Amino acid sequence: MNRDNTDIQQKMLITHAPHIWKGFSVSRIMYIVVIALLFPTAAAIYFFGYYSIILILVCVAVAVLTEFIIKKLRHKRFVMDGSAVITGLLFALVLPPRLPLWMAIIGAAFSIAIAKEAFGGLGYNIFNPALAGRAFLVVCFPGEMTTWVLPTYFNMDAVTGPSPLGENFSYQVERLQMYKDLLFGNTSGSMGETSALLIIAGGIILLSFRIIDWRIPLFYIGTVALGSFLVGQDVLYQLLAGGLMIGAFFMATDYATSPVTGNGRIIFAVGLGVLTVLFRNFGPMPEGVAFSILIMNAFTPLIDKYVKLKPFGYQGKKKNA
């Protein structure tokens, strides 16, 4: 073998598809997502005060530390690619604003150690890690995970109140003002889910960089709108209240736990919408977004199995004349 052929072979890299790189590494994608998440994070800090900063920092730190420890135990190289930061930040944003720190630590560690690393790490997890951690806490500490507070504006003396989708929730203002409060975030709920406007702003960033596929948020939100209309609910209220927006833009679009094809993602998103409407109107819990996403995560391999892309250049069988 001559020297030229040796040089060519050394420069060749045989990997699985895709083979065209557009300049977006995993770490770059992750940190763009972190930037997009700063919008709902800012709303969480503004409406729920200094404790939310501590809660967020603790969750992120525990997530990164847990991933580092697990990688060392598995004798794998630890890479600070930003995925653990996103998991910790997303997990914090779907927590009640006054959740005790020790519970948050348990949930963040579970998100990484069990929901992510136990399956093999980044790209191998079946369920969204942040939502899996939240579901774990809901089962273990149902009282604390359903205790909400009204916006405190940096006042540590929080006043408890029901979430917008709770049975005891009622607005004493005009409907237009109610929509305005839900849009901007001046209401009770999980830290990062109250401001629909800032969540959408972060989602637009992800869409503009093509980090996420438009099909999932569009068909998810659209299905919830249609389903809410059919069951006689206030459509705009159902869209703005609860965790629908953060779920549609930041949770359901997770690469590892959503289908790979366009049509598969539409099926996935419609399934999310149907489950969310059913949970909200006929289930024992008023929300339903987290468990809808986790359930559809389990169906992702099945969707990918039966909804496939046609091979490039594929032509159907020609009929005999």
Q: Write the DSSP symbol of residue 149.
A: B
The rounded distance, in Å, linking the Cα atoms of 34 and 206 is 10
Residue 90 has pLDDT above 90, yes or no: yes
Q: Which two tokens stand for residue 13?
A: 């890299």
Does the pLDDT value for residue 157 go beyond 60?
A: no
Please, are residues 83 and 112 in contact by the beta-carbon 8 Å criterion?
no
pLDDT value for 24: 66
Residue 277 in tokens: 């409407």
Asked if the model's pLDDT at residue 14 lies above 70, the reply is no
Q: Say if residue 231's pLDDT is above 90.
A: yes
Beta bridge partners of 149: 160
**Letter for the amino acid at 267?**
I
**Per-residue confidence band for 8, with pLDDT thresholds at 50, 70 and 90:** very low
- For residue 285, is pLDDT > 60? yes
Those residues whose C-beta lies under 8 Å from the C-beta of residue 179, and which sit 6 or more positions away, are 236, 237, 240
User: What percentage of the chain has pLDDT greater than the value 90?
Assistant: 64
Token digits for 8? 């060519």
Which two structure tokens, joined as six digits, stand for 2?
């001559």
Q: Which has the closest alpha carbon to 308: 240, 262, 244?
A: 262
Which helix (DSSP H) or strand (DSSP E) does residue 30 occupy? helix 26-48
At residue 295, the pLDDT reads: 96
Residue 179 pLDDT > 50, yes or no? yes
Distances from the Cα of 158 to the Cαs of 54, 97, 127, 152, 154, in angstroms? Answer: 15, 9, 33, 6, 9
Residue-level pLDDT at 174: 81
Q: Please report the pLDDT score of residue 318 as a whole number.
A: 58
Residues 186-199 have a mean pLDDT of 91
Please indicate whether residue 23 or residue 63 has the higher confidence score (pLDDT). 63
Contact 165, 290 (CB under 8 A): no
Convert the pLDDT of each residue in 96-137 to its tens digit: 999 999 999 999 999 999 999 999 888 889 999 999 999 999
- Cβ(220)–Cβ(250) under 8 Å? no
Handedness of CA 117, 121, 125, 128 (dihedral sign): positive
Query: 78 pLDDT band (50/70/90 cuts)?
Result: confident
> What is d(CA 231, CA 220) in angstroms, rounded to the nearest whole number?
17
Q: For the ranges 17-21, 81-85, 279-283, which has the lowest average pLDDT?
A: 17-21
Tokens of 187: 């209401």
pLDDT at 175: 82
**What rounded mean pLDDT belongs to the chain?**
86
- Specify the pLDDT at position 159: 59
Continuous segment of H or E residues that includes residue 52: helix 50-73
**According to the model, what pLDDT value does residue 3 have?**
52
What percent of the chain clears pLDDT 70, i.e. is strictly above it? 82
Q: Chain-centre distance of CA 237, in angstroms?
A: 21
- When pLDDT is cut at 50, 70 and 90, the band that residue 280 belongs to is very high
- How far apart CA 310 and CA 256 sit, in angstroms, is 21
CATH no. of 26-306: 1.10.3430
Q: Give the integer Cα–Cα distance in Å for 308 and 184.
A: 40
Global confidence as pTM: 0.86
Decide if pLDDT at 294 tops 60. Answer: yes
pLDDT band at 321 (very low <50, low <70, confident <90, very high): very low
Domain residue limits, the chain: 26-306
pLDDT mean over 169-196: 84
Alpha helices in 209-306 (DSSP H): 215-230, 235-240, 244-246, 262-282, 289-306
User: Contact at 8 Å (CB) between 97 and 231?
Assistant: no
Nearest to 36 by CA among 208, 181, 189: 208
In this prediction, residue 28 carries a pLDDT of 85
